[in-house]
Amino acid sequence: MPNQAGTLLGHDDPAPFEVLNENGKGHSLFVCDHASREIPKSLGTLGLPEEERKRHIGWDIGARKVTEILVERFDCRAVLGGFSRLVIDCNRQLWDPTGMPEIADQTVVPGNKNVSPSEHMQRIREIFLPYHWAIEEQIANFHAHKIAPALIAIHSFTPVFQGFERPWEIGVLWDQDDRIPVPLLETLRAQNPDLTIGDNEPYSGRHLADYTIDHHGEAAGLPCVSIEIRQDLIDTDAGCEKWAKILGDAFADILADPNLYKIRRD
């Protein structure tokens, strides 16, 4: 339930977003929608024990750390989501029922049952919108300096889904804009011939569920891509360092090309 002031977030809750390296000189903007597993104190634990909240249903394991490493390597900015995807998923269309799931990977989420329209709107108004406004603000800052930034989203995925063992270590998700994903796929495969690199696997970027990249990247004509890394590979700091280097090495020449940073209208 919301607190007595009629708001979802209290003074001792974290902010709905965090900006890293705001003065970074790089021309790319990294985003991490599912960086956090925090839940507003007014919602308690959403009725879930800690072991459930720590699972992939609550956040993208390892994604924040990988983002931090890449931000430092490329001296870029990043916007990180401040709350668990169980509260509201900032990478979903607002009409999507998985954006506030009553059941997440077979786990019932009691705190998401019987949410009133006004409580739903509070989550949108206080978490979802501020996060996306923060991304828009960073993009506007780039535009003010005559830069069309590259938008790169970092996610992670479960090793097993519905009994299927996923073979991919990294997935590259994209839709219409091929400026980053095509050379990235080629470079990842050339530099890492023993890896299984997913082209729109284990998820497809060609659907409306991938809201952040679709809304801020594709629709705006910015070069963009969404990256998925398998969670068992980045559930330790050492794993995050290893796979951030693999990914960063593949990104290096792509992000160094000044011709990348243009708005595409076609």
46 neighbors 55 (Cβ within 8 angstroms): no
Helix runs in 81-203, H state only: 117-123, 129-144, 181-191
What are residue 54's DSSP bridge partners?
none
Rounded alpha-carbon distances, angstroms, from residue 223 to 41, 58, 155, 159, 216: 37, 29, 18, 29, 10
pLDDT given for residue 47 in this prediction: 97
pLDDT given for residue 209 in this prediction: 66
pLDDT given for residue 4 in this prediction: 46
pLDDT given for residue 164 in this prediction: 87
Q: Which residues, at least 6 apart from 163, have a Cβ–Cβ distance to it below 8 Å?
A: none
pLDDT given for residue 162 in this prediction: 79
Fill in the DSSP letter of residue 128.
I
Separation CA 99–CA 228 (nearest Å): 19
Helix runs in the chain, H state only: 50-53, 63-74, 117-123, 129-144, 181-191, 211-212, 237-256
Separation CA 36–CA 46 (nearest Å): 15
Token pair listed for 132: 């996306």
Strand 170-173 versus strand 107-108 pairing type: unpaired
Q: What is the pTM of this model?
A: 0.95
Block means of pLDDT (10 residues each) for the chain, 266 residues, are 70 97 97 98 96 95 98 98 98 92 94 95 98 98 98 96 91 96 98 97 81 96 98 98 98 98 90
Separation CA 63–CA 84 (nearest Å): 13
**What's the gap between Cα 244 and its chain centre?**
15
Token pair listed for 8: 């979802």
Q: Say what the alpha-carbon torsion angle 225, 220, 22, 18 is, to the nearest 10 degrees.
A: -70
pLDDT given for residue 159 in this prediction: 95
pLDDT given for residue 208 in this prediction: 59
